[in-house]
């Protein structure tokens, strides 16, 4: 191939990355936006009859650092909450491999566990934490992870 112009390999690889990102964003539709800022406080969502709060520490929440995920579930439903809850970490629109954190009950409606969010080679930083509370009840938070 006569494409070997050595002055612009950086530009060409940058273009390739952009092309890949473009194709990925094309295949996954509109890029979802973060709906949670875990860097300065906790995030709260409604899940059925429950109010679910997620807090991630230490802050700011960074890649490749051991993170503690604390959740609290409040509600006046009589449904018994499980002893452990899985927190599934994924990237919207990307297949990153399974990353699930087991959260153990630390009190009535309180759960805690530790895990790591890897750094995505694409440079994207948007992650989603989905709490698999029960077969019919889950709650997800989408947030940007910092370097
Ligand atoms: Cu990724």
Of 35, 40, 33, 34, nearest to 57 by C-alpha is: 40
pTM equals 0.78
8 A C-beta contact, residue 56 and residue 38: yes
If you measure from the C-alpha of residue 46 to the centroid of ligand 1, how many angstroms do you get, rounded to a whole number?
27
Ligand 1 center from residue 124 Cα (angstroms): 6
58 preceded by a cis bond (ω within 30 of 0): yes
CATH code of 31-144, in short, is 2.60.40.1930
Q: What pLDDT is recorded for position 77? A: 64
Q: What is the pLDDT of residues 43-78, one digit of tens each?
A: 999 988 889 999 999 999 999 999 999 999 998 765
């Amino acid at each position: 191939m006569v494409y070997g112009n050595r002055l612009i390999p950086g530009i060409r690889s940058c273009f390739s990355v952009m092309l890949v990102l473009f194709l990925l964003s094309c295949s996954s539709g509109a890029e979802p936006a973060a709906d949670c800022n875990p860097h300065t406080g906790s995030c709260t969502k409604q899940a059925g009859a429950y109010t679910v709060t997620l807090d991630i520490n230490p802050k700011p929440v960074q890649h490749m650092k051991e993170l503690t995920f604390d959740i609290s579930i409040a509600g006046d439903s009589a449904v018994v909450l499980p002893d452990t809850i899985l927190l599934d970490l994924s990237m919207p629109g990307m297949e990153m491999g399974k990353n699930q954190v087991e959260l153990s009950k630390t009190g009535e409606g309180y759960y805690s566990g530790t895990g790591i969010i890897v750094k995505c080679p694409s440079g994207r930083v948007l992650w989603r934490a989905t709490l698999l509370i029960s077969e019919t009840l889950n709650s997800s938070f989408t947030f940007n992870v910092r370097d």
